[in-house]
Structure 1
Amino acid sequence: MKEKDQMQMIGTPVVADKAPKSRRRRYLALAPALLVVGVILPVAALAAYLYLIAADQYDSKAAFSIRSEQSGGVAQGFLGAIASVGGTGSAQDTDLLFDYIQSQAIVKTVDAKLDLRHLYREREGDWAFSLAPDAPIEDVVHYWNRMVSVSNESRDGILRVEVRAFDPEDAQQILKEILAASSDLINQLSQDARADSLRLSGDLVTETRADLQEIRRKLTDFRRENKIITPELEAESRSTLIATLQGKIAEAVIERDSILAYSNENDPRVQNIDIRLDSLRAQMEQERIDLSQSDKTADLDVYGVYESLLLEQEMLNVAYGQALANQASAHAETRRQARYVTVHVPPSFAEVPLYPQRLKILLITTVILLLIWSIVTVFYKNTRDKF
C-alpha cells in the first residue's frame, strides 16, 4: 500500500512536467507556421502580383493658382475700390477648387471628354489598380481620388495636382482637362458675380431715375398750385413791376410838366395825365403793400416746401449720376475676366513609371503583417500559459 502511494506521489509530477513541454512544442511549431502562412506567403504573393502583373503607372504634375485682375473705377461708392491688379485670388477660391477637383462634378466633366473607364481599363490582369468597365459613378469617383491627388498650399494659394495613368499621354491629358475644367468653373463664377454686379447697378439706376422723376413731378405740381416758377423769381418779378411803374410815373410827370409849360391845368391832356398818374401810383402802392405786407408765414411755408423739394432733387441728381457711373464701371468690368487660373507649372510628361510604388507597398504590408503575427503569437502564448 505504501509502495502504491509512493508511486502515485512520484507519478504526479511526471504528468505535470510533460504538459508544459507538450504545449511549448505546439507553440514552437505554430509560431513559424503562422509566420509562413500569415506573413511570408502573403508578402510573396503580393510581390509576385506587383512585379509580374501590376501595370506601370505614369504620373503628370502641375501647379496653378487663382489670380484676380480687378481695378477700382470711378464708382468707388457702390462697387468699392478693388485691391490690386493681378493679385492672388482669395483662399475661398482655392478651397473651392480643392474640393471641386475631388468631386463628382469634375469626374463627370472629364469622363465626358476622355472616357475614364476606357483609359483606366484592366491591363494584363491587373484588377487591383484598374477600373471596371461597368463601374458606377460612385466607384469612378473613388478610383479618381486614388489616381488624382491634390494639395492646397494655403499660404501662397498654389494648388498642386498629380495624376496617374497607365500611359503618360493619358496622365498628361487628364491633367490638362482638370486645368480646363477648373478654369471654366472660375470663369463661370466670375461671370455670375459680374452679372450680379450689372443687375444691382442697373436696379440702382432704375430706382434712382424713378425717384428723380417723382421729385420733378412734385416740383411741377408745387409751381402749378402756387402759380409761381420759384419763390425767388416771384419776389423778383414784383420788384421789377414796381420799378416799371415808377418809370412810367416819371415819364407821365415829365410829360405833364412839358404841357404845363405852355398851357394850364384845365388842358384836357393834363387832366388825362393826372388820371393816368393816379392809376399808376395806386397800382404801385398796391404792389408795395403786396410785397411788404403779404402773409409772410405763408410765404415762408411755401419757400420751405420749395427748398425741401429742391434739396431732394439735387441729392437725387447726384445719386443718379453716381448710379450711372457705377453702371458704366460694372459694364467695364464685364469686358475682362475678373478671376482666372494661372498655371505656374504646366502638366509634365513622364518618361519613367514611378507607380505603383512596389517596394514601399511591400515594406508597409510586411510591417503590418509582422505586427499582426506578433500580436497573435503573444496572445496565444499568454493564453497557453494561463490554461
Structure 2
Amino acid sequence: MLQRYKIASPLFLLLVVMPTAIAVLYFGLFANDVYLSESRFVVRSPSKSSISPLGMVLSGGGLTGASEESNAVSEYLESRRALAETDTDALVRNAYGNPGIFWFDRFGGTSGTSREQLYKYFQTKVAVEQGTTTHVTKLTVRAFTPQDAQRINARLLERSEALVNSLSERARADSIAIATGEVNDAKRVAQDAAIALSRFRNQQGVINPEQQATARLQMISKLQDELISARTQLQQLQTYTPEASQISFLRVRVAALQREIDQQTAGVAGGNRSLSSAAVRYQELQLTSQFAEKQLAATLVSLQDAQAEARRKRAYIERIANPSLPDYAVEPRRYRGIIATFILGLLVWGVVSMLMVGVREHRD
C-alpha cells in the first residue's frame, strides 16, 4: 500500500494539485473580467400578397419577418466583411489588443496579429442567435470593458442596418430597371411597327384598304345600277324607236359606265396594286402594330406595379433592444472554473492511477 501511495502521490500533485493551483492563480489573479453587451432586433418587411382570400385573412396583410434578409444579416455578422467594417478605426484591435489585458486572453498574446487571426479571435467574441419562431435575432458581444462591448455591438448593428438598406435598395432598383427596360423595348417595337405601317401606306397610296375597298364597292354598285338603267333605256329605244337620236348617246354612256366599272373592279381585286392584295399586308402590319401597342400598355402597367411594389416592399431593421451597457462582468465564472479543473483533475488522476497500478501488478 505504501508503495502504491508513493506512486500515486506524484501523479496526484501533477494531475490534481498543480492544475488546480494554476486555475486558482489564473481565475483569482490574472483572468480579466468579460462583459456582455446584448441587442435584439428583427428584420421587417411588408407581407407578400396572399394567394387566396382565406390566406389574406389568416395573414392579416401586416408586416412580417423577412427571413431572407434575416439570414443575410446573421451571415453578415459572422463574416470578415463585418469585422472589416467594424474595425475601420481600429475599434476591435484596440478593444481586444489592449496591453492591460492578460496575455493569455489578449489578442496577439498567444498568436500573431494578422487579419485572419483577428477574424478567428473575433468569432469567439461575437455570437448571433436567430429565433426560429419569433424571427428575433440576438446579438451578443464579449469585451473586456463595458464600453467596448457596447460600442462594438452598436457598430455591428449599424452596419447590419446599412446592409439591409442596401439590399432593399438594390432589389428596388433592379425591379424598376427590369421593368423600365421592358418598357423601352416595347416602345421600340411599337415605333418600328408604326413606321412600317406608315411606310406601307405611303408606298401603296392607301390609308385603309378595307375601308377604301368598301367605298369602291359601293361606287361600283351605283355604277352598275346606272349601267342597268342605261342598258334598259337603250334596249327600249332600239326596240320601239330605232331611229331615235338618243341611242348613240346611250351607247356611249353604257360603254363609259362599263369601262369605269371594270377599272374600279380591277382596283379592288385582280392585280398586284389592287386593294385586295394590299389588304393582306396591311392587316399583317396593323395586327403587328396593335399587338405592339398592347404590349407597350402592358409593360407600362408592369412598370407602375414595380414602382408601387418597390415603394411598398422595403425591408428594415426594427430594434427591440438597443446594445446594452453591462453593469458587471458575467465571465469568467471563477469558482466554477476552479471547481471544474479540480474535478477533472481528480478524474484524470483516478484513471491514470488505476492504469499504472494494473500495469505494475501485471509485471509482478
Q: TM-score range by the shorter chain?
A: 0.7 to 0.9
Name the CA shift for 1:215/1:34 in 2 (closer, same or farther; >3 Å).
same
Look up the match of 1:183.
161
Higher-Rg member (1/2): 1
**Residue 234 (structure 1) aligned with residue 206 (structure 2):** no
Q: Distance in 2 between matches of 1:284 and 1:292?
A: 12
Q: 1:135: how far off?
A: 1.9
Q: 1:382: how far off?
A: 1.9
Look up the match of 1:355.
331
Of 30, 43, 57, 1:66 maps to 43
**Residue 197 (structure 1) aligned with residue 175 (structure 2):** yes
Structure 2 counterparts to residues 47-126 of structure 1, below 5 A: 47-69=24-46, 86-90=63-67, 92-113=68-89, 115-122=91-98, 124=100, 126=102
Letter in 2 for 1:44: A
Contact 1:59–1:353 (CA<8 Å) still a contact in 2?
yes
Contact 1:55–1:124 (CA<8 Å) still a contact in 2?
no
Q: 1:343: how far off?
A: 1.6
Contact 2:125–2:143 (CA<8 Å) still a contact in 1?
yes
SS in 2 for 1:130: coil
Name the CA shift for 1:222/1:368 in 2 (closer, same or farther; >3 Å).
farther
- 298-307 or 314-323: bigger deviation: 298-307
Letter in 2 for 1:315: F
Q: TM-score under structure 2 normalisation?
A: 0.78
- 307-316 or 103-112: bigger deviation: 307-316
SS in 2 for 1:206: helix
Q: Distance in 2 between matches of 1:301 and 1:231?
A: 9
Letter in 1 for 2:332: P
Q: TM-score under structure 1 normalisation?
A: 0.74
Letter in 1 for 2:45: S
Q: Distance in 1 between matches of 2:301 and 2:342?
A: 70
Q: 1:150: how far off?
A: 1.3
**Residue 157 (structure 1) aligned with residue 135 (structure 2):** yes
Q: 1:99: how far off?
A: 2.1
Q: 1:53: how far off?
A: 2.1
Q: Percent identity?
A: 24
Contact 2:96–2:144 (CA<8 Å) still a contact in 1?
yes
Deviations along 1:359-386, one digit per CA (max 9) or x if unpaired, are: 3333433333333222221221221122
Letter in 2 for 1:110: T
Q: 1:97: how far off?
A: 2.0
Contact 2:38–2:141 (CA<8 Å) still a contact in 1?
yes
- Structure 1, unmatched stretches of 5+, are 1-23, 73-82, 253-264
Contact 2:91–2:152 (CA<8 Å) still a contact in 1?
no
Of 276, 288, 311, 1:312 maps to 288
Q: Distance in 2 between matches of 1:216 and 1:69?
A: 42
SS in 2 for 1:112: coil
Structure 2 counterparts to residues 133-282 of structure 1, below 5 A: 135-242=113-220, 277-278=253-254, 281-282=257-258
SS in 2 for 1:154: coil
- Structure 2, unmatched stretches of 5+, are 50-59, 231-243
SS in 2 for 1:343: strand
SS in 1 for 2:64: strand
Name the CA shift for 1:365/1:318 in 2 (closer, same or farther; >3 Å).
farther
Deviations along 1:300-330, one digit per CA (max 9) or x if unpaired, are: 6654443333333222212111212222333
Name the CA shift for 1:275/1:149 in 2 (closer, same or farther; >3 Å).
same
